[in-house]
Amino acid sequence: MNIKNMVKFILNGKNIVFLTGAGVSTASKIPDYRSMNGVYQGKDAPEYLLSKTALKKEPEKFYNFVKYLYHPDAKPNIIHKTITKLQDNKNVAVITQNIDELHDKAKTKQIVHFHGSLYEIYCQNCFQYVSANEYLNNMYHTGCDGILRPNIVLYEEGINSEVLNHSIEYMQKADTIVIVGTSFQVYPFAGLIYEANLKANILAINQTSLNNSFIFEEYIGDAVDVFEYLVKSF
């Protein structure tokens, strides 16, 4: 599908859900995970380093790796901003795999952080929350010497049931679902599509074609191009 038709589908929607992944934030200079320039490149066992086991058994290795994920100076790009702009005359919700809070910075109102947020950090000992700046300077809580951790879903951890239920509610109400910047292979996030309203139009915007069994229309290319065209079409 070409950009013009993709944009037409989006603009025809009234209740739109965006399912966003790491490709949405690369234009904000935040690397994705598995591409040639991704966070995982050159790292031994990156999934292990972001696992519950690593946090428990080798917290320093976990900490030294997770710090690479932080980009506190990153700003929302045209994709985040255009999604927010759509709120002016449509009911828009975002369910995101991203843990960078750029949708929040863009002031999107309805967001489900499916995998949590890097910027919610708490002590595993006393459960007090601290700032990202404090965490990036010290993995130990100065109040009780407990080990700090970001409130993100690690490998070997499950999705919070409230988060999952909230996501399903949005999917069931949507008349248009737009998958953006994700290969859509990670579960249970990818499984949300099977909770969708059966009458919803399903669209995908990604650098590579999605290998999925559901019926959808897709644009293969840079999502920035689509959203630049979209914002000019309001």
Alpha helices, DSSP H only, in 93-222?
Answer: 102-105, 132-137, 161-173
Helix-strand-coil split of the chain, %, nearest 5: 35, 20, 40
The arrangement of strands across the sheet holding 148-152 comes to 129-130, 116-123, 148-152
Is 115 among the catalytic positions?
Answer: yes
Q: What are phi and psi of 102, to 5 degrees?
A: -70, -30
Are residues 50 and 115 in contact, defined by beta-carbon separation less than 8 angstroms? no
Catalytic residue among 80, 103, 113, 115: 115
Does residue 67 sit in helix, strand or coil?
helix
Structure tokens at 33: 């995970």
Residues designated as active site = 115
